[in-house]
Amino acid sequence: MSNKPEGTGIDSVLNESRRFAPSDDFAGRAHMGSLDEYHKLHARSIEDPGSFWAEIAGHLDWFTPWDKVLEWEAPDARWFVGGTTNLCHNCVDRQVNASMGEQTAIIWEGEPMDGGEPEIRRLSYADLQRETAKFANVLKSLGVKKGDVVTIYMGMVPELAIAMLACARIGAPHSIIFGGFSASAIADRVKDADSRVIITCDGSWRRGNVVPLKDNVDAACRQVDTIEHVVVYQRVANPVEWHHEPSESHNNKRDHWWHDLMLAASADCPCEPMDSEDLLFVLYTSGTTGKPKGIMHTTGGYMVYTYYTSRIAFDMHANLNQVYWCTADIGWITGHSYIIYGILPNCVPTLMYEGAPNHPGPDRFWDIVERHEVTQFYTAPTAIRAFMKWGDEHPKAHDLTSLRVLGTVGEPINPEAWMWYHQVIGQERCPIVDTWWQTETGGHMITPLPGATPTKPGSCTLPFFGVDVAIVNEKGEELPNNTGGLLAIRRPWPSMLRGILGDRDRFIETYWSDIRTESGEIYYKAGDGARRDDDGYFWIMGRIDDVINVSGHRLGTMEVESALVAHDTVVEAAVVGMHHEIKGTGIAAFCTLAPGVKPDADLRDTLRSHVANEIGAIAKPDMIRFTDALPKTRSGKIMRRLLKDIAEGRESTGDTTTLEDLSVLAKIRESDE
Ligand code: WTA
């Protein structure tokens, strides 16, 4: 029986009572093999985080040791204070130095299946060392120095990994923009980060089509004037425009081919010693205003935490022939932390797949799992729901017996999808790790440990080591079990965000202002609603702010609204999330139009493409309704709750007494979809 908590629209399945314990066989070989062991170590990690994290950090290489594990003055944390290291070194050079240079670091598979065979590339740690060193020298030759933000807008090709590792090698923070974002989204992010160099591809493959990445960069460059260099990796060999400068000198040209620059580059480029708190990257994520936030992550703490969560949550062993595959795009935090930075230091090959899950057929993922004998598979609930819909025959046509651990991330997984994943993909043999975390947290925060934690479908279970999470009210008081409340984190953890680029006030307002105890302590507010059950297991109920989670990707409703009103036909827009079978949450937009504009199907198409141009295809509304007025309170605030009811075809049962004009609702209900 399921139960819908008021206002969240997400099944929290209060009575879900199924439990799945790890098999003895799995537990016997796992890093963490019992719940007791987990509880003991978790208690130690909370009581004495200093010694706990020092021990883990000692698994990795440091150029100079830290003086102090943690300095904490809320909301500012400094981890491994005074230590220097380099994340590219720990991902690549460390393996080469340990005589593992010939082992595979990255397995890459391209999307096209011409002649029935995909293109496959395997890069060893030695290859990665040579290529990152060369590309690091390329960046230097373009004037990039330690601290300069480099923008990366590429498809899923190994050169994307090389570019990011090269940035880390020389201490230039990267800002990676997902290849599905539009030119305006690139321009906004480039401006915000004051970036002078963009790395891109001529195009990328997606479901048999070319995504024109270079064209989008050209369009973005017309909107900002800071870009001095664009480096283009040739992937699809589509025609691209070339930006010529009259000057002949290398440094005055804007556009460069990756392969030309690499020809001349030396393979000798030592890793720059980075202070533990030096900026590693900026990654933009949506918030409740129209402007995305540049989330900042630094070097040492992020490195230690992503390395260790990968090791424990995916049960990674360097000597067991494992092949790990995360299906995310590197443009999202999941790809940063769990395709590259957390995985490479574990010496388990990380698989990168370029394209769509249903190209050329709906069994592509299972074909990849079978051919590469994937052992750990990490994907999103939206993908799982799509696989369910496409039919069991596709996974059943493949040998999936190599799989050991399955993972999910990005949004709450409905128990039905969880059970399907367990039965059809995991064949009732593989533990499922439902990992709750955020761009801001850098790594897994609440997750089962596959050899230790009995799982319950739909629950992300228990906090990771060092994580002190609680369900509280705004005074920081813990709520009783099974009561929905704010998900708060009460202590610092190594991979926590260090701020929002250039906006200290917004950092404090967004995360560190709403939950304050009577004694004046402040807690990190995740922005999710959740509850804890009697076993201490966490159940995420979804976002509590104006952020929606579409196919596991965060979008601010304000961002979509700003895009809509930027079109001359739209006077006012309100956007809400609505239930969607595959995406989890779809986008419903309510628009009032300028006088004389005809509200017809053509306009709907126009507005949908307009939003795709402004933000990217993921932000296209699933439903647009035209209306004369929006439901507002007397103080002028749009009542989104009521619009959500309409979008989902429900009667509004909540309070409507603050509504200024009741007839508005009836009119919207009568409008066409
Ligand atoms: C949601 C993705 C339920 C949540 C790593 C969070 C989840 C937002 C889960 C962060 C999960 C992520 N169960 N909800 N296992 N994982 N979320 O920044 O609402 O893209 O706040 O990071 O996704 O999304 P982001």
Per-residue pLDDT, 408: 97
Which of 250-264, 316-330, 621-635 tops mean pLDDT? 316-330
Q: What is the pLDDT of residues 389-406, one digit of tens each?
A: 999 999 999 999 999 999
SS (H, E, C) 373-403: CCCEEEECHHHHHHHHHHCCHHHHCCCCCCC
In the predicted structure, residue 96 carries a pLDDT above the cut 70: yes
Identify whether the C-beta of residue 315 lies closer than 8 Å to the C-beta of residue 72.
no
For residue 374, is pLDDT > 60? yes
Phi-psi region of 465 (alpha: psi -120 to 50; beta: other; left: phi over 0): beta
How far is 204 from 63, CA to CA, in rounded Å?
38
Decide: 396 and 424 in contact? Cβ < 8 Å. yes
Is the residue at 577 inside a domain?
yes
pLDDT band at 668 (very low <50, low <70, confident <90, very high): confident
* 375 located within any domain: no
From CA 482, how far away is CA 473, in angstroms rounded?
Answer: 14
Which residues have CB under 8 Å from 421's CB, separation 6+?
A: 384, 406, 408, 413, 432
pLDDT at 246 over 70: no
For residue 542, the model assigns a pLDDT of 86
Report which of residues 242 and 668 the model is more confident about: 242
Report yes or no: 381 and 410 within 8 Å, Cβ to Cβ.
yes
* pLDDT of residue 41 exceeding 80: yes
Looking at the DSSP assignment, which residues form a beta bridge with residue 109? 120, 353
388 occurs within a structural domain? no
Average pLDDT over residues 328-340: 97
CA-nearest of 325, 312, 438, 323 to 59 is: 312
* Nearest-atom index, ligand 1, CA of 526: 21
437 C-alpha to center of ligand 1: Å? Answer: 5
Asked whether 11 and 2 are in contact (CB, 8 A), the reply is yes
Residue 155 has pLDDT above 80, yes or no: yes
Pocket test for ligand 1, best of 13, 310, 379, 437 (most atoms within 8 A of CB): 437
Q: Is the pLDDT of residue 2 over 60?
A: no
Contact criterion met (CB below 8 Å) for 197 and 139: yes
Q: Which of 576, 566, 565, 554 is nearest to 284 (CA)?
A: 554
From the CA of 285, give the closest atom in ligand 1: 18
**Ligand 1 center–CA 13 separation, angstroms:** 18
Angle at 54 between CA 455 and CA 405, to 5 degrees: 25
Mean pLDDT in the chain?
A: 93
Check residue 12 and give its pLDDT. Answer: 42
* Residue 96 or 5, more confident: 96
From the CA of 162, how far away is ligand 1's center (Å)? 27
Predicted local distance difference test score (pLDDT) of residue 531: 94
114 pLDDT band, cuts 50/70/90, is confident
The predicted-structure confidence for 558-599, as pLDDT tens digits, reads as follows 889 989 999 999 988 999 999 999 999 999 999 999 999 999
Token pair of 51, please? 């010694």
Residue 132 pLDDT grade (very low, low, confident, very high; cuts 50, 70, 90): very high
Residue 378 belongs to a domain: no
> 4 pLDDT exceeds 50?
no
Q: How many domains does the chain have?
A: 1
Residue 623 lies in a domain: yes
Please check whether residue 608 lies inside any domain of the structure: yes
State yes or no: pLDDT of 3 exceeds 70: no
Asked whether the whole model's pTM tops 0.85, one would answer yes
Ligand 1 within 6 A of 511 CB? Answer: no
CA–CA separation, 532 vs 457, rounded Å?
A: 14
Give the percent of the chain with pLDDT over 70. 96
Task: Give the range of the structural domain holding residue 610, as residue numbers without chain letter.
Answer: 547-670
The confidence score (pLDDT) of residue 556 equals 87
Residue at 539 is within a domain? no
Angle 35-47/49-57 helices, nearest 10 degrees?
A: 110
Q: Does ligand 1 lie within 6 Å of residue 410's CB atom?
A: yes
Is omega for the bond preceding 75 within 30 degrees of 0, making it cis? yes
User: For residue 286, what pLDDT band results from cuts at 50, 70 and 90?
Assistant: confident
Residue-level pLDDT at 10:
33
650 in any annotated domain: yes
- Calpha distance 511→513 (Å, rounded): 6
Using a 6 Å cutoff on CB, does residue 409 contact ligand 1? yes
pLDDT tens digits, one per residue of 434-447: 999 999 999 999 99
Question: What is each CA distance from 364 to 387, 390, 430, in whole angstroms?
Answer: 11, 12, 20
What pLDDT is attached to residue 322? 98
Average pLDDT, stretch 165-192?
97
Torsion of CA 512, 515, 516, 521, to 10 degrees: -60
**C-alpha angle 534/311/554, rounded to 5°?**
65
Lowest mean pLDDT among 86-100, 178-192, 634-648: 634-648
Q: What is the CATH number of the domain that holds 647?
A: 3.30.300.30
Among protein residues, the one with the nearest Cα to ligand 1's atom 13 is 412
Question: Atom 8 (ligand 1): residue with closest C-alpha?
Answer: 438
* Cβ of 411 less than 6 Å from ligand 1: yes
Give the per-residue pLDDT at 248.
47
What residue's CA is closest to ligand 1, atom 3? Answer: 412
CA 409 / ligand 1 centre spacing (Å): 6
Beta strands in 509-637 (DSSP E): 524-532, 538-543, 547-550, 553-556, 570-580, 584-593, 623-626
